[in-house]
Amino acid sequence: MDDQPLTDREHVDPHDRVEPGADRRPDDTDAAARPGRRVPKATIVVLGVALVVLGLDQLTKSIAVAAIDPMRPVEIIGDFITLRLVRNSGAAFSMATGYTWVLSIIALVVVLVIIRYSSRLRSWWWVAGLALVLGGAIGNLTDRIFRAPQPLQGHVVDFVSVGWWPVFNVADSAVVCGAILLVVLSALGFDYDGTRTGWAARREQRDPAGTEGGAHA
């Protein structure tokens, strides 16, 4: 797996460095030190993908609520894959039922942490994984805040049933896929800041030209 490092700064030639005490033009000022600095590219992408996931999640839930009778599941592939409308007061896949307000607070903390630290990402794969988790977390959090029976205790709309697996929705799928991606990246040694450790570092040492070419293409 070749992960392209993500950076918001262009390469600076050593000959262009400004010596201490020398006059600096306004354009040479470090953007990170400026008040009102621009939003990092990684944060913009994370928020953009998360909004797409959120929109898709809420759209499909609205369609499910309007079109599916809770007492009459819609068969897609026999009774193996069905559309089955369920109101879930627990976490993903109907776990932790009865702790809706706790799950709401946890989801809110997760959302804030991901947004806060997204600017540190230098890996497109980590951006994708965290964006999926963020979008899914916001999707289900939106249900818990705005849906019945009351704010912060609303029931999440689930409607996809596959075999023996608990009924789920788009937000659940996004969280699970994003989490799996992050676990795989960590296991292989592709770190969030674009560095390589473990297997990824060894692979880069064995084939530095190929890895570099894939990473910076």
Please say whether the beta carbons of 42 and 122 come within 8 A. Answer: yes
Strand partners, 69: 72
Strand 156-162 to 74-77 pairing: unpaired
Which of 46, 44, 40 minimizes the C-alpha distance to 131?
46
Please say whether the beta carbons of 171 and 57 come within 8 A. Answer: yes
- Tell me, yes or no, if 172 is annotated catalytic: yes
- Angle of helix 100-117 versus helix 41-67 axis, rounded to 10: 150
- Tell me, yes or no, if 193 is annotated catalytic: no
Q: Which of 158, 191, 193, 207 is catalytic?
A: 158
State how far Cα 147 lies from the chain centre.
23
3-state SS string for 80-124? CEEEEEEEECCCHHHCCCCCHHHHHHHHHHHHHHHHHHHHHCCEH
Q: Which of 3, 57, 143, 172 is catalytic?
A: 172
Question: Any idea which residues carry the catalytic annotation?
Answer: 158, 172
